[in-house]
Structure 1
Amino acid sequence: MKFGGTGYSVEINVATRKQLFRTVRARMAEQRGFALATLNLDHLTKLPNDPRFAEAYARHDLIVADGRPVVWLSRLARRPVALMPGSDLILPLCTLAAETRTPVALMGSSDAALAAAAEALRQRVPGLSIALCHAPAYGFDPTGGDADAICDMLGRSGAGLCFIALGAPKQELFAAHAARHCPHIGFASIGAGLDFLAGHQVRAPRLMRMLALEWLWRALQSPRRMVPRYAKCFAILPGLAGQALRQRRR
């Protein structure tokens, strides 16, 4: 499934969870890095207006669908992909890391959130090695000197997989930048996933997720921040549906 517009083109190139985990396992075994992005409607509102974000996305090796609207659009285009939210990928990727003896690094918003997330992961994934937890300073540049210093830190830590929970576009900018500096490390951008594990944010109940109402839960939790974001997402749906129909005809 492809999406494109003025100044950007992005393709979901991993259609199933089985394909994703098979690819990641092979790369971990070979100590070969990657950059993994989870595409959602919020990203698709930003990509046409942010050349740096679009360039960073183009350098990602693995792109999956995060959000039911993206999955529905893929079905409309007759190029179906599975739903793979970043938050749902953390535990299975950590299981793969433990099985391949790949140390993990966590990057997030605060030291407290990372410490709690690390403890939760150790309890849920036996044998998992967490080599580094790092919360970048407020306002850090994800592609500048600050990012280079973090890359050096990651290289010394021995980590082979790094979860980045900084929000878009910062996490994707850093992942694309760091993948060049640390080609043996896999970088996975997972949004609020570590905050959910830490209990610093509350994820929508499973029933609401099953009914595709997680967006409503998040809007009710933080209306001033999320309502304008979702309004922009809904506004681009007709155009994306048109793209999907054109791909369907081809």
Structure 2
Amino acid sequence: MKYTNSTVFCLGYSIYHGDLNDLFCSEKIVVDTLNQYSYCIAEQDEQFKNSLKNADILLPDGIGIVAAAKVLERKKIRKIAGADLHLHLLTEMNKRGGSCFYLGSSQTTIDKIEKRLHKEFPNIKMKGYSPPFSAEFSLSDNQKMIKAANSFNSEVLFVGMTAPKQEKWVFEHKKELNAKVICSIGAVFDFYAGTVKRPSKIWRSLGLEWLGRMLQEPKRMWKRYLYYGPIFLYYVFSKRKN
């Protein structure tokens, strides 16, 4: 973690709570996000945990992480969602005519992203690549993905293959990727494409974005919040005793 002056050490991770404007620098950086679900999964997946710990910036993408920082470290930090990061980077790139590459999801989703992006951020050059849908990528798959991303020579690489797959893939291939900023942002691909609607600002301002998402997609999201929520609380309060 390079940004030690803007981080709080909580739950075993260095969590960034600084200015997003500091993301563009001369060095290559990897940006991941942490929420209660990914924390719980990482406790059972050492490779995933190692990927998160080795991210240059780890954003608090969940009210649970914000609350844990307050309870355990008495630090007040704000939630920074992957969607917030995505919008910030697009806004900054649009000011100077930057370029970005979207790696992940379906070709239909990438096409929708491209259509919206060209309308809202006309100064940005954009391309994308949809990898095969599989639990694990073959060596050939990985080579095609890296080649596609590097051939565009983009400033920012957005990776959307859901956690923990995307974080582990980025960690494994960081040295082979040319982009200066590499972000694992999962569901943001669908949010921006419009295939999944992000809960409104009212839900987000109340700290209830998680509830809005669960109500929209109960079959897919219930376990993430209703099952892993109590597990996360157990982890937090067990660390408080120590």
Q: What TM-score comes out, normalization by structure 2 length?
A: 0.87
Q: What is the CA distance between 1:236 and its match in structure 2?
A: 2.0
- Residue in 1 aligned with 2:136? 141
1:51 maps to a residue whose letter is E
- Residue in 2 aligned with 1:99? 95
2:192 to 174, 193, 197: 197
Q: How does 1:38-57 map to 2 (within 5 A)?
A: 38-57=33-52
* Counterparts of 2:167 and 2:229, CA distance in 1: 19
Q: How does 1:199-214 map to 2 (within 5 A)?
A: 199-214=194-209
1:109-152 deviation line (CA, Å, top 9, x unaligned): 1111111112212222231111x211111116358442233112
* Counterparts of 1:60 and 1:102, CA distance in 2: 23
2:28 to 14, 28, 33: 33
* Counterparts of 1:194 and 1:222, CA distance in 2: 16
* Counterparts of 1:99 and 1:148, CA distance in 2: 32
Cα separation, partners in 2 of 1:100 and 1:88, compared to 1, 3 Å: same
- Say if 2:158 and 2:185, in contact at 8 Å, map to a contact too: yes
**Structure 2 unaligned runs (5+)?**
1-7
- Residue in 1 aligned with 2:216? 221
Q: What is the CA distance between 1:244 and its match in structure 2?
A: 5.3
* Counterparts of 1:149 and 1:39, CA distance in 2: 28
Query: What SS does the aligned partner of 1:2 have?
Result: strand
* Counterparts of 1:89 and 1:143, CA distance in 2: 30
* Counterparts of 2:200 and 2:150, CA distance in 1: 38
2:223 maps to a residue whose letter is P
1:175 to 170, 179, 191: 170
- Say if 1:53 and 1:172, in contact at 8 Å, map to a contact too: yes
* Counterparts of 2:102 and 2:142, CA distance in 1: 14
Establish whether residue 119 from structure 1 lines up as the match of residue 126 from structure 2.
no
1:54-111 deviation line (CA, Å, top 9, x unaligned): 1222221111100111112112212332210001111210122233443100123111
1:161 to 156, 164, 167: 156
1:235 maps to a residue whose letter is I
- Residue in 1 aligned with 2:4? none
Decide which moves more: 176-185 or 190-199.
Answer: 176-185
- Residue in 2 aligned with 1:108? 104
Cα separation, partners in 2 of 1:184 and 1:220, compared to 1, 3 Å: closer
Q: What TM-score comes out, normalization by structure 1 length?
A: 0.85
Q: CA RMSD in A?
A: 2.1
2:87 maps to a residue whose letter is L
Q: What is the CA distance between 1:205 and its match in structure 2?
A: 2.0
- Residue in 2 aligned with 1:15? 17
Q: What is the CA distance between 1:184 and its match in structure 2?
A: 4.2
Q: What is the CA distance between 1:238 and its match in structure 2?
A: 3.1
- Say if 1:35 and 1:186, in contact at 8 Å, map to a contact too: yes
Query: What SS does the aligned partner of 1:168 have?
Result: coil
2:56 maps to a residue whose letter is D
- Say if 2:70 and 2:76, in contact at 8 Å, map to a contact too: yes
2:83 to 87, 108, 129: 87
- Residue in 1 aligned with 2:145? 150
* Counterparts of 1:136 and 1:184, CA distance in 2: 18
- Percent identity of the aligned residues? 24
